[in-house]
Amino acid sequence: MKATRTLLLAATMSMAATAHAAIDADDIFLNGFEQFTLTIDNILAWCSINENGEAYSPSEVFNQGTVVDLNAAPLTGFIWGHWTGTDGDTGSGDTNQTTTVTMTSDRAVTACCPFPNGSGC
């Protein structure tokens, strides 16, 4: 069973109002937004990966609802394979080199750039 804590939210309009909400102890909030962690696994580092146009971080926190753009390219000697865990992954991998992850929960994605014969991922 998860521990909960009470968060006191105060809003000022024409009249002051106070609301209480129970949240999970491991939830992260910043500026009123719940935050989630995106973990990217680059199998054996055979891909060059960009996250929102910049070099990726293996683990990064984003506000709920943020759409993270990912791009992967194989390093010399490898070919593009697939992503798993992205918005475009229907269960058999996402073969688009450019894809997205919408942060509605903690997400884990994997990039696969195998050898030219397809082995390695």
DSSP codes joined into one string, 4-58? EEEEEEEEESSSEEEEEEEEETT-EEETTEEEEEEEEEEGGG-EEEEETTEE--S
The answer to whether residue 11 sits within a structural domain is no
The answer to whether residue 69 sits within a structural domain is yes
The answer to whether residue 42 sits within a structural domain is yes
The answer to whether residue 87 sits within a structural domain is yes
Report how many domains make up the chain. 1
Q: For residue 50, what pLDDT is reported? A: 97
The answer to whether residue 86 sits within a structural domain is yes
The answer to whether residue 96 sits within a structural domain is yes
The answer to whether residue 117 sits within a structural domain is no
What is the tens place of the pLDDT at every residue in 30-66?
567 899 999 999 999 999 999 999 999 999 999 999 9
Q: Residue 6: pLDDT above 80?
A: no
The answer to whether residue 118 sits within a structural domain is no
Domain that holds residue 54: 28-112
32: left (phi over 0), alpha (psi -120 to 50) or beta: left
Determine the average pLDDT of the residues in 106-111. Answer: 98
Q: For residue 83, what pLDDT is reported? A: 98
